[in-house]
């Protein structure tokens, strides 16, 4: 990653005496290993932060302008506090605005500020790069104003500001992970209660590889919307519309056979969700017991369920997982993110990485996409540098 301090000083050198960043903060990306496709606001996730970051530098200006510089892109945006609102053309800068709005609402003296952004989180593959911008900017501003704001309040207020700016529900789980992660630990995250437990990684002899399939995703939003409609309808039919019932109240056996007026496609969607909830809990116990063969089977079963029941995979992703599964030294492999392309993760012995990469030559020949891979580690929480 480039030197964000040097980039910031160079970009804002016109502000004599104000070019030195007062605060530089960073926030990590994250991976969901299990659980991301489920009942909204009631999911269980097995996740971690990863050692790919967004960094944000902030310093004061003499005027009341808000300036934004994306050092990696060489792009610049600007606004003022009075005009602080979502603008489609501002793209990445909108995420910084979320954090600015948060501190303005808390009554801190937001006036003229310079921001610089840089990062190395792979884009558009479901690794929470946009949430990392929001968290890094919020942590930087917290340090800048010496604000006495708890992580929980920061999380809640980021969610409210995100909803205001973008008109949609915020990904509070991503904020929680970025603010609560611990190095070398997986996280069991309960979206319903927003509680989190840390599990020491049992993979000291393995590496985690992220494989970007480079598959262009078209129609993804419509497909995911249809899946959400299916599971809402399925839950309503299962529960006879009783209030407060969730998929956590059902066992996989409840959905093994079609029930009454539950259509087969909806039954499959619901079965995936109920089984995945069980898999997340089972994975935690397997990790605690160092049962790596059991965990391996569970991860592959989860991918099969995403492929066959929830139907959000694609041939390219399935090929990447299958080739990994065939390779000695691979503990597990599965798609992660929204699906219909995107990314896989593979937990692999370091000695097997070269062989896996060699097999990717066939992937490019068969599918015509050049995959990108990233080896990552489990990282800690957002911080001021």
Name the catalytic one among 15, 151, 174, 212: 174
Vertex 240: Cα angle to 237 and 241 (nearest 5): 95
Cβ-based burial of 109 (10 A; exposed 0-12, middle 13-18, buried ≥19): exposed
Is 193:324 a contact under the CB 8 Å cutoff? Answer: no
Here the tokens at position 94 are 């909108």
31, with CB counted inside 10 A (0-12, 13-18, 19+), is buried
Find where tokens 């066959």 sit: 308
Per-position DSSP letters for 22-64, written without gaps between them: SEEEEEEEEEEEE--SSSTTS-EEEEEEEEEEEEEEEEE-SSS
Give the whole-angstrom CA distance, residue 141 versus residue 165: 18
CB count within 10 Å of CB 113 equals 22
62-72 in b/e form (b: 16+ CB < 10 A) is eeeebbbbbbe
Render the burial of 320-331: b for 16+ CB within 10 Å, e for the rest.
bbebbbebebbb
**What sections of 256-314 are H helices per DSSP?**
264-288, 292-308
Where do the DSSP E strands lie in the chain? Answer: 23-34, 44-60, 65-70, 75-80, 113-119, 185-190, 195-200, 206-212, 330-336, 343-349, 372-376, 383-384
174 catalytic residue (yes or no): yes
47 Cα distance to chain centroid: 9
Q: How many CB atoms lie within 10 A of CB 186?
A: 26
Active site residues: 174
């Amino acid at each position: 990653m480039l030197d964000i301090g040097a980039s910031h000083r160079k970009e804002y050198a016109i502000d004599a005496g104000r070019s030195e960043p007062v605060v530089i903060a960073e926030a990590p990306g994250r991976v969901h290993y299990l659980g991301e496709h489920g009942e909204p606001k009631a999911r269980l996730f097995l996740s971690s932060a990863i050692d790919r970051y967004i960094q944000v530098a902030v310093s004061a200006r003499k005027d009341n302008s808000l300036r934004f510089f994306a050092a990696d892109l060489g792009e610049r945006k600007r606004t003022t506090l009075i005009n602080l609102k979502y603008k489609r053309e501002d793209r990445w800068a909108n995420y910084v605005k979320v954090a600015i709005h948060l501190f303005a609402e808390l009554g801190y003296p937001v006036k003229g500020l310079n921001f610089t952004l840089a990062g190395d989180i792979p884009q558009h593959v479901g690794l929470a790069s946009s949430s990392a911008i929001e968290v890094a900017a919020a942590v930087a501003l917290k340090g800048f104003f010496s604000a006495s704001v708890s992580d929980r309040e920061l999380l809640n207020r980021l969610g409210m500001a995100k909803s205001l700016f973008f008109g949609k529900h915020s990904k509070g789980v991503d904020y929680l992970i970025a603010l609560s992660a611990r190095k070398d630990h997986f996280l069991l995250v309960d979206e319903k209660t927003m509680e989190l437990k840390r599990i020491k990684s049992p993979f000291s002899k393995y590496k985690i590889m992220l494989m970007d399939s480079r598959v262009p995703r078209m129609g993804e939003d419509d497909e995911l919307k249809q899946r959400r409609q299916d599971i809402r309808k399925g839950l309503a039919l299962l529960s006879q519309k009783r209030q407060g019932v969730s998929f956590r109240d059902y066992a996989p056996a409840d959905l093994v056979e079609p029930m009454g007026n539950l259509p087969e496609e909806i039954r499959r969607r619901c079965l995936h969700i109920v089984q995945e909830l069980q898999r997340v809990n089972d994975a935690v116990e397997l990790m605690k017991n160092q049962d790596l063969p059991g965990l391996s089977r569970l991860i592959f079963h989860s991918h099969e369920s995403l492929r066959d029941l929830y139907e959000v995979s694609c041939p390219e992703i399935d090929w990447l997982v299958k080739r990994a599964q065939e390779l000695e030294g691979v503990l597990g492999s599965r798609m992660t993110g929204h699906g219909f392309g995107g990314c896989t993760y593979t937990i692999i012995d370091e000695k097997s990485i070269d062989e896996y990469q060699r097999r990717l030559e066939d992937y490019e020949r068969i599918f015509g996409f050049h995959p990108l891979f990233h080896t990552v580690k489990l990282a800690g929480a957002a911080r001021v540098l």
